């Protein structure tokens, strides 16, 4: 399984980098929409929607919303959507503390989680296309944000493997393998990556410090995103959201942290004037 993960990552990472740096805005938006909709398709399965036409209709409705948002291309619409995503993740922290909330496989709970899925996917998609097309350096800031999440995941794994044995678990009922040491490793890694990345992008002075703080906050949200998907999988008694990527699970498994990180990263960069 470890070899599968490495091989899959070596294939996917260059494709992701090329898409961010070289695709025009409309093509990048379409690619990201496809990935988000695939993750949303997996989300509907976790919620217990088993009828294929129903799931297709739900994903189609999400696609229509994306099309409307793209057609509007209006910051007065996009930023409230991004803000709604950030607000949701703040509320999601409460949900993580109440493990059994909406855990029962009822129709009402399924529709509640479906609404949550919209607040997870749509703001993240709007954030990434807004960030990608914001300035000539938008593609680089987009890549920077994803590198932060990927790097923090590696930092958490290394710190947890080296010093995490016997330390306090982060959320033992949701993800028993995660420790607070891993969280600290992720935060430190993100700060160091932000220092290097922002410097390479000619950010200096107090703004450089602001990017470092933003990176740490962004990674903290990415951890919340990872934990929340784990919670939903626990509710569904599922190990992975799918089997699309050998050793990595489904698309939702790959994007859970990114969905939580992107709205925060995009909003923070806008506030910093970047």
- % of the chain beyond a pLDDT of 90: 65
Give the number of residues written for the chain.
274
Would you say residue 65 has pLDDT above 50? yes
pLDDT, tens only, 42-56: 999 999 998 999 999
pLDDT in tens, 214-260: 999 999 999 999 999 999 999 999 888 877 776 667 899 889 999 99
Q: What is the DSSP string of 153-198?
A: HHHHHHHHHHH-TTSPEEETTTEEEEEHHHHHHHHHHHHHHHHHHH
Mean pLDDT of the chain, nearest integer: 90
pLDDT of 35 reads 94
pLDDT of the residue at 1: 46
Burial call 198-214: b when 16+ CB within 10 Å, e when fewer? beeeebeeeebebbbeb
pTM for this prediction: 0.93
């Amino acid at each position: 399984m470890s070899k599968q993960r490495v091989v899959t990552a070596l294939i996917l990472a260059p494709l992701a980098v090329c898409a961010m740096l070289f695709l025009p805005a409309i093509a990048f938006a379409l690619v990201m929409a496809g990935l988000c909709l695939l993750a949303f398709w997996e989300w509907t399965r976790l919620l217990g929607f088993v009828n294929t036409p129903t799931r297709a209709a739900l994903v189609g409705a999400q696609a229509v919303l994306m099309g409307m948002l793209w057609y509007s291309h209006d910051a007065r619409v996009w930023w409230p959507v991004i803000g709604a995503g950030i607000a949701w993740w703040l509320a999601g922290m409460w949900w993580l503390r109440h493990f059994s909330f909406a855990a029962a496989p009822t129709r009402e709970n399924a529709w509640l989680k479906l609404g949550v899925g919209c607040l997870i996917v749509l703001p993240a998609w709007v954030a990434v296309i807004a960030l990608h097309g914001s300035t000539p350096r938008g593609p680089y800031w987009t890549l920077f944000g994803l590198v932060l999440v990927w790097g923090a995941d590696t930092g958490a794994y290394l710190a947890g493997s080296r010093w995490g044995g016997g330390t306090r678990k982060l959320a033992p009922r949701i993800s028993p393998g995660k420790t607070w040491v891993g969280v600290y490793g992720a935060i430190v890694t993100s700060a160091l990556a932000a220092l290097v990345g922002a410097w390479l992008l000619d950010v200096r002075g107090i703004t450089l410090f602001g990017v470092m703080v933003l990176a740490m906050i962004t990674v903290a949200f990415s951890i919340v995103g990872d934990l929340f998907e784990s919670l939903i999988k626990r509710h569904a008694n599922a190990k992975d959201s799918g089997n699309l990527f050998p050793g990595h699970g489904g698309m939702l498994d790959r994007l859970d942290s990114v969905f939580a990180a992107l709205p925060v990263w995009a909003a923070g960069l806008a506030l910093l004037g970047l």
